[in-house]
Chains A and B, each alone.
Chain A
């Protein structure tokens, strides 16, 4: 476990760079993670996806299924990969401060 300083606050990360505590998330965290996931600048669509993921997580304590994410944000999977080159799990979930996806990855 490592801890990094994001906009003046200490944030704990696991070895894959995911936030250990999703409640510590701020928009600065998303900006901080962006470059590591191949994103130069966060645009409105990035934020739409990030906020959708956070809202869903707050409500259900789980990340939405890909299909649901695409439907609700109106972004095709192809477009999600254009926004987040490392994909919805490693990319957008990390930026949104969600816990690391698990299972038979």
Chain B
């Protein structure tokens, strides 16, 4: 089914929107680039131009050279920003210390986040990066772009920023690296009015959601990750732009347990596609794999000779729940024992497919180490359907938020709150019945809390009554 946007998307035409001519964008020759010298001596960074990997130093020098040659009315911020950045970076390489000041609070009216303020602590030495704020731009789901969009945003950023970007930030945003406070509102205006694009999240709020490539290009996708990501991003715009939470909160959407957007490790609420019926088996294709007519893992291990494909060794013996077997030349799966780990499907994608009764698992609480240790997400909802308009999912999201917003301490991630109040209390509050799938193993210690109403006679006991039966 073709993707249907919630609202009409604006059609961008770069030829109408462009700021620079082709000649201005390619305003230097290869010779000039070769003989380009940054206004500071940067011997350490120069070393990083060697070697086969694309060099960020070489890229920055190209940009620095282009900016040198643009005329004054074609750059609104500092033309030397890139060179000053390289200069300060070289100094940091020398000293092994950062030269950015602590913190920075800047932004755009109406929003409480989306811009990360930054100031150099050597503003006299590197005046062009005295202010060097970062703007997070909400990326399209799975980061599919048209060149019209990218060229337009590049022109805008050359004009009003440093020309440097990060495609993309770890959370997913398209990151514009380095501009001044005065340019923030104009940039925000142009993002909204020209590029039809909003800024992303930062601060104690819902951060920019991100998803794997999903149904757009992956036959494993168990739900439309892009549609759900886009829907929840739109639905929770207020929570994204105006921090109202105890701390940050992230959504990520993986179409299957392979986890290509790493939701289980990098989102407070992780949505992972799965299925609850049988793996679909094409027995003819299985035979073709066994015969060597199809390469295993779609050729992922072609770089080395691993011998002839051995279905017993590479699939059946590696199944974590040992629920597969060969009967004659028929592959058999005991789906009631399958944990949907993806291994067999990954190895023989032409023969095996996820089931058709698909949905999501929801896991909660992943976070980085600070404060009380790193966490991956814990399974909360083993299975839920994921179909537009996703009311069941929104209802769950809001129950979790309601509890965390009320009970969460200042700068306490959801995962830490879950630890503090304990899993039993947490699931009770958000209205989930306890299920064996929520734990890897039952507790090994006997410090078990009971609710008074579950214990016959309750907690109110009279010592004299006890003494009438047990003498001192």
Q: Tell me what chain A mostly uses at the interface: helix, strand, loop, or mixed.
A: loop
Query: Which of the residues A66, A100, A104 comes within 8 Å of B248, measured between beta carbons?
Result: A104
Assembled-state Cα–Cα distance A100/B105 (Å): 7
Pick from A66, A77, A86 the residue with the most CB of B within 10 Å: A66
Q: Are B246 and A65 in contact (CB under 8 A)?
A: yes
B410 within 8 A of A: yes
Closest Cβ–Cβ distance, residue A38 to chain B (whole Å): 5
> Complex formed: what's the CA distance from A65 to B107 in Å?
19
Q: Is the CB of A102 within 8 A of B103?
A: yes
Which residues of B sit under 8 angstroms from A41, Cβ to Cβ?
A: none
Does B405 belong to the interface (CB within 8 Å)?
yes
Contact with A along B181-202 (1 / 0, CB 8 A): 0000000000000000000001
A88 on the B face (CB < 8 A): yes
B287 within 8 A of partner (CB): no
**In the complex, how many residues of chain B place their beta carbon closer than 8 angstroms to a beta carbon of chain A?**
31
* A88 partner residues in chain B, CB cutoff 8 A: 112, 243
* Cβ–Cβ < 8 Å partners of B119 in chain A: 15
A16 close to B105 (CB less than 8 A)? yes
**Closest residue to B239 on the A side, CB-wise?**
A77
B113 beta carbon closer than 8 Å to chain A: yes
Task: Indicate if A90 sits at the interface (CB-CB under 8 A).
Answer: yes
- Bits for B89-116, please: 1 = Cβ < 8 Å to A, else 0: 0000000000001111111111111001
Residues of B contacting A105 with CB < 8 Å?
103-105, 113, 116-117, 202-203
In the assembly, what is the distance between CA of A78 and CA of B244, in Å? Answer: 10
Residue among A65, A67, A90, A105 having the largest count of chain B Cβ atoms under 10 Å: A105
Smallest CB gap from B119: residue in A: A15
User: Across the interface, do A89 and B106 meet the contact criterion of CB distance under 8 Å?
Assistant: no
Residues from chain B with Cβ under 8 Å of A15 in the complex: 101, 104, 119, 131
- Beta-carbon contact of A77 and B248 below 8 Å: no
Interface: B139 (CB within 8 A): no
B50 within 8 A of A: no
Q: Which chain B residue has the least Cβ–Cβ distance from A38?
A: B109
Residues of chain B with a CB closer than 8 A to A94's CB: 105
Q: Does the CB pair A90–B102 fall under 8 Å?
A: no
Contact of A66 among B103, B109, B111, B243 (CB under 8 A): B243
Q: Does chain A have a CB within 8 A of B385?
A: no
Q: How far is the CB of B45 from chain A (nearest CB, A)?
A: 27
CB-contacts of B244-285 with A (<8 A): 244-246, 248
Total residues of chain A contacting the partner, CB 8 A: 23
Pairwise interchain contact A67-B109, C-beta atoms closer than 8 A: no
Q: Contacts A102-B102, A105-B103; is A77 near B244 (CB within 8 Å)?
A: yes
Taking chain B's interface residues, is the majority helix, strand, or loop, or is none over half, making it mixed?
loop
Query: Which of B105, B106, B109, B116 is packed against the most chain A CB atoms within 10 Å?
Result: B105
Q: Return B422 CB to nearest CB of chain A, in Å.
A: 22
A56 at the B interface (CB under 8 A): no
Tell me, rounded to whole Å, the shortest Cβ–Cβ distance linking A56 to chain B.
12
Quick check: is A22 within 8 A (CB to CB) of the other chain? no
Which residues of the partner chain B approach A66 to less than 8 Å between Cβ atoms? 204, 243-245
* Bound: A94/B238 CA distance, A: 22
Q: Are A67 and B244 in contact (CB under 8 A)?
A: yes
The chain B residue with its CB closest to the CB of A102 is B103
User: Any chain B CB within 8 A of the CB of A103?
Assistant: yes
B242 at the interface (CB under 8 A from A): yes
| Chain B hits for A90, CB < 8 A | 105-107, 112
Whether the Cβ atoms of A16 and B104 lie closer than 8 Å is yes
Pair B246/A67 contact, Cβ less than 8 Å: yes
> In the bound complex, how far is the Cα of B410 from the Cα of A101, in angstroms?
13
Contact pick for B242, options A65, A87, A100, CB 8 Å: A87
What 1/0 flags go to A82-100 for Cβ under 8 Å of B? 0001111110001000001
Determine whether the beta carbon of B411 is less than 8 Å from that of A81.
no
A89 and B410 contact, Cβ closer than 8 Å, known pairs A67-B405, A81-B242 = no
Within 8 A of A (CB), among B412-454: none
With A67-B246, A105-B202 given, is the CB distance from A87 to B111 under 8 Å? yes
Residues of B within 8 A of A86 (CB): 107-110, 112
In angstroms, Cα B117 to Cα A65, docked, is 21
Residues of A within 8 A of B113 (CB): 105
Residue in B112, B248, B411 whose beta carbon sits within 8 Å of that of A87 in the complex: B112
Residue of B nearest to A67 (CB): B405
A50 to B238, CA, bound (A): 23
CA gap between A98 and B202 in the complex, in Å: 21
Evaluate contact between A85 and B110: CB separation under 8 angstroms.
Answer: yes
Residues of chain B within 8 A (CB-CB) of A33 are: none
Q: Return A43 CB to nearest CB of chain B, in Å.
A: 18
Q: Could you give 27 example pairs across A and B, Cβ below 8 Å? A: A16-B117, A18-B105, A65-B246, A65-B410, A66-B204, A66-B243, A66-B244, A77-B244, A81-B110, A81-B112, A81-B242, A85-B110, A86-B108, A86-B110, A86-B112, A87-B242, A87-B243, A89-B112, A89-B203, A90-B106, A90-B107, A90-B112, A94-B105, A101-B105, A104-B202, A105-B103, A105-B116
Task: Enumerate chain B interface residues (CB-CB to A < 8 A).
Answer: 101-113, 116-117, 119, 131, 202-204, 238, 242-246, 248, 405-406, 410-411
In the A-B complex, the 10 residue pairs with the smallest Cβ-Cβ separation, listed nearest first, are A87-B112, A85-B109, A16-B105, A102-B103, A38-B109, A105-B203, A90-B105, A77-B244, A65-B410, A90-B107
